[in-house]
Amino acid sequence: MKRISFTFDAQYSQEMMRRFLLAINQRLDELFTTSTKSSGESIASSTVRSTVDQTIHNFAIGRGTYFELFGVGADAGLTGIAGGVDGRLIILRNVGTNTIRLFHNSNSSIVGNRIKTSTEDTIVMSITNGLILVYDGVGQVWIPTGNLL
């Protein structure tokens, strides 16, 4: 099994970390429970992979938790992510050949899809690295809560 390490920003409480770990464990249980898979269905079929070769507004990720993004263009970036529901946790990993930028509170995406960073700066996801984001239903924003190393 592949090992993933992560760090949390200091502003997040132990309760937030506990909820995050619970969500990860629940999702892993779903992925590895063979009784929910139809015959011949691969566990890897749950992974969503998308090419990001330009700046995308209101990025439609669909259902799921873990998303691999192929950052292939110099302008690869996201100004917002659709599909936010209070408490939803997603993991984005850059598996491409270029970095991917996540823009802070960009007006290019509609309210409800925007990303709010703690530093109010653009976040750059390096190649093979990623981010953990949680959706804040009250603030209607995606909040990066940890980094994948």
- Percent of the chain scored above 70 by pLDDT? 68
Specify the pLDDT at position 36. 41
Nearest to 134 by CA among 20, 40, 22, 34: 20
Centre a 10 Å sphere on the Cβ of residue 41 and count the other Cβ atoms it contains.
11
The DSSP call for residue 44 is G
In terms of phi and psi (left: phi > 0; alpha: psi -120 to 50; beta: otherwise), the region of 28 is alpha
DSSP β-bridge partners for residue 104: 115
**What are the residue ranges of helices labelled H in the chain?**
14-32
- Higher pLDDT pick, 74 / 47: 74
> Is the Cβ–Cβ distance between 73 and 52 less than 8 Å?
yes
Whether the model clears a pTM of 0.75, i.e. scores above it, the answer is no
- For all residues of the chain together, what is the average pLDDT? 81
Tokens describing residue 25 = 């464990």
* Phi and psi at residue 74, to the nearest 5°: -60, -25
Tell me the per-residue pLDDT of 85-119, one tens digit each, with 9 for 90 and over. Answer: 999 999 999 999 999 999 999 999 999 999 999 99
